[in-house]
Amino acid sequence: MVRKRVPDWLNSSLWSTTPSDDRFQRYSPSPTTATAAVSEPAVQPPVPVPPPAAASRPQSSPTPKSEIRDPVNDNSDNNSNDNDQNGSSSDVSPEDISRQAQLLVELSKKVVNMRELRRIASQGIPDGEGIRSTVWKLLLGYLPPDRGQWSSELTKKRSQYKHFKEELLMNPSEITRRLEKSTGCDNDESKSESRGPLSRSQISHGEHPLSLGKSSIWNQFFQDSEIIEQIDRDVKRTHPDMHFFSGDSQLAKSNQDALRNILIVFAKLNPGIRYVQGMNEILAPLFYVFRNDPDEEMAAAAEADTFFCFVELLSGFRDHFCQQLDNSNVGIRSTITKLSQLLKEHDEELWRHLEVTTKVNPQFYAFRWITLLLTQEFNFADSLHIWDTLLSDPEGPLETLLRVCCAMLILVRRRLLAGDFTSNLKLLQNYPSANISHLLYVANKLRTQGSG
C-alpha cells in the first residue's frame, strides 16, 4: 500500500509547539498572560475591510450598562464588580475595532444579512456593546433576520418559558390545588390556606404522596428528585473560580438558580435524554453572554433567552448525550471516528503514530473535547472565541468542531510524534495553552485542503 504523503504545509514549524512541562491551567486569569505554546504563524487570518461607518447597536433605547459582570479574564483575587476589564480598550486590536464596526453595521440593517454576519463573526466577536449576545441569538435562530420581528418574537418566547416554569417547577401540592380550582372545587377554606399544605380530604387516592401510579404527579416528583439533585451538584461546580457562577454573593446564587431552572425545565421537556452531566458546562457560556448584555432589559430576560438558545444548540449534539445511541451512526463514538478519519486524511503520519504505534484511543481525549464543545480545554474567554466560529457555520457547529479538534492535534504534532502512550495521553487530556486565532486559522485551512 502506498503511504499517503504528508502535505508540505503540515511539516512547517508553525504547527508545532515547544515541549514544556507546564500543565495548562484551565480558566487562566487572562488569555493575554497565558504562555503561548504555539509559535506565531507567518500568515495571519485575513483582516476584515473596515466598514464605511460604525452604527449604533440596534436597540430601541439606550440603557445604562449592567453592573453584574464578572470579566472572563478576571481572576479569583479580583472583585466581580471590576467591569471595565471586560472589553478593555487597552487589549483591543485594530482588527477587533474594525470587526466590531462591521458587526454594528450589519446589526443596524432592517434585515440582517446572515451570510455576511456569519463571515464576520467566524473570525471572532469583540467584547463590548453587547454585540456577542445579539449575534449569538441570530446565529442560533432565536432572533429572526428581520429586526422588525424581534420584539414580538422575544415577547412570545419569554412568555412561553414563563409558562414552562410555572407548570414544571411547581410543587405537586400546588399542582393539585390549581387543578381543583380549575374545576371549580375550591372553597373558602382552600382560599384562606392557599399557600399552606393540603388537608387529607383534599388529596385524592391517586395523588397521595405514596401513590405509585404511573400518572401520579407525586410519583413523578420523586423520580425527578434524583436528577434535580445531580443538577444542583453540577451547577455548584460550574466554573468555581468565576465570581459570576460561584460563591456566596447574591449574583452567584441568582445565576446558579437560573442555570438550575433551565436544566430542570429542559430535562422535563426532553424525557428521552433528560439531564446528563456536562450539560451545565455547555449552558454556562450562553447564560454568561446573555446575562452580561449591557442592555438591562435583555440581561433581565437572560434565563428565558438562554433556555431556547440552549435547546437549539443542543439539538445538533443531543445524540451524543444519549447512551443508547453511543454505538449508532449518530452517537458519540461515530463522531469520534469521524475525527480519527479527518486526522488520517490530513496527517496520516500523526494518525498512525497515535492510533497504531502508541495505541492512544481517541475516545480517551476526544470524548470530552466533543461532548463539552471544548469548554474544558481552554480558558473561558478563549472558549467564547472558539464558539464564535462554531456557531457561525451555516451547516451547524459539528463539522467545524471536528476541524478544530483535528487542528489541536496538528498544532502539537511534533510533541506527539516524539511521545509514547503515557506522555501523549497526558498532553491531550491537559491540552497546552494556544494562540486561538492561529488554531482557528489552521482549522479553516483544513476545510480548504479538504475541499481542494
> What average pLDDT does the structure give for the chain?
77
Closest CA to 446 of 415, 412, 379, 400: 400
More confident residue, 276 or 322: 276
More confident residue, 424 or 328: 424
19, three cell numbers: 515541549
Average pLDDT of the segment spanning 15-26? 37
Closest CA to 279 of 323, 313, 245, 241: 313
The predicted-structure confidence for 326-346, as pLDDT tens digits, reads as follows 666 667 889 999 999 999 999
Confidence class of residue 16 from pLDDT cuts 50, 70 and 90?
Answer: very low
Give me the pLDDT at residue 382, please: 96
More confident residue, 238 or 54: 238
d(CA 284, CA 288): 6
Percent of the chain residues past pLDDT 90, beyond the cut: 56
Q: Which domains does the chain have, with CATH numbers?
A: 95-171+216-316 (1.10.8.270), 323-446 (1.10.472.80)
